[in-house]
Amino acid sequence: MLDPRVRRLAELLIDHSVRLQPNEKVLIEAFDLPDPSLVTCLVEFARARGGIPVVAWKSNAIVRCLLMHGDAETFKQIGEIEAHAMSQMQAYIGVRGAANTNELADVPSSQMALYQEHWWHPVHLALRVPKTKWVVLRYPTPSMAQAAQRSSEDFEDFYFRVCTADYVRMAQNQEPLVARMQKAERIHITAPDTDLRFSIKDIPVIPCHGRRNIPDGECFTAPVKDSVNGVITYNTKTLYQGVVFDRIRFEFKDGRIIKATCANGQDKRLNEILDSDEGARYIGEWSLGLNNEVREPMLDTLFDEKIGGSLHFTPGNAYETADNGNRSKVHWDIVLIQTKAYGGGEVWFDDELVRKDGFFVPADLQPLNAGL
């Protein structure tokens, strides 16, 4: 019997996230899902709304094989084929399961760089992100439950509760924060081994409430490209290109990462990623996490970057909606949690303390503290 929570999630994705209209084409791209129920529900709802669903069912094991044995021409051909398909779409829904979250861990960085340049960038950064109504999400699997240190049943309950949140109320609660960020010029962030200053003057501010990521709950902009100075030490592990990095520390001078280290012996791989291109050592996004249902990191960016009381500071490509001009094959959301349990910290807008130890201070931002 179909889990009614799956149908509710599919309906939310079609009606709220991509807002599918009659005759619009939607690409549903699924990786390693344990069963096809969510995809079949998405197809049913897309057709019921008059849309045209196109389905791609993929395997990370096959992707790994292509990455291990392919060359630039292989990736270029795949990229051209998928870019042509993406150019026909008005909407995109990407759903990723994972039997093994480290499936790509042994792919050489040189191969990943070719993949990013010839496959990922032309399909997703050049087309999907700026040209479609898109949403990406994970799907609950035992490996995700294990990473979250929960039983499978408990994790599924958490997953569906968080993913089908009241995004209308979330949008309303974000409005005062958006207004404050739009007025702010200078940002100051502190935390253990973190003292960071930058400007967001004249950069657009984008509230996020279920239209791009599920689960959602963040408000992002970007620093003026050359304005970042100081140091940040991220206190959550991050999985990128199949490799786990811990306690990443960046030092900045005039916007550029001049020193990058981490705590688990992956300094070489970390710097190889940052040397992918010139833009990878500059920041393309700064965002505040606002989903108070998500409280602990689970080595999954789509959840970790939404943690209430967190922020992420992202090396690499800027989104066109909040553009500081930085361009890169890399876009790496790395999370710093500022709640007391994780060492605390402060966020200042100009000369006003806006958030302390994960809690918003001004009266008009108090609704964002609910549930913390």
pLDDT in tens, 79-131: 999 999 999 999 999 999 977 878 888 999 899 999 999 999 999 999 999 99
Pairing between β-strand 249-253 and β-strand 229-233 as defined by DSSP bridges = antiparallel
Question: Mean of the per-residue pLDDT values for the chain?
Answer: 95
Confidence of residue 162 (pLDDT cuts 50, 70, 90): very high
Please state, in angstroms and rounded to a whole number, the distance separating the CA atoms of residues 312 and 127.
24
Q: CA separation (Å) from 183 to 3, 18, 68, 150, 180?
A: 45, 29, 48, 41, 5
The per-residue pLDDT for 241 is: 87
Confidence of residue 295 (pLDDT cuts 50, 70, 90): very high
Given its phi and psi angles, is residue 277 left (phi above 0), alpha (psi -120 to 50 degrees) or beta? beta
Task: Report how far apart the first and last C-alpha atoms of the chain are (Å, whole number).
Answer: 36
Is 80 exceeded by the pLDDT of residue 8? yes
Mean per-residue pLDDT for 282-302?
95
Is the bond preceding residue 108 a cis peptide, omega within 30 degrees?
no
The residue assigned the tokens 């005759």 is 23
Q: Which two tokens stand for residue 324?
A: 């500081």
Which of 64-68, 141-145, 213-217, 308-312 is the least confident region?
A: 141-145
Is 90 exceeded by the pLDDT of residue 169? yes
The 3-state DSSP class for residue 162 equals helix
Task: Delineate the domains of the chain, giving CATH numbers in brackets.
Answer: 4-163 (3.40.1830.10), 167-369 (no CATH)
The per-residue pLDDT for 106 is: 92
Strand partners, 359: 356
Strand partners, 256: 253
The per-residue pLDDT for 71 is: 96
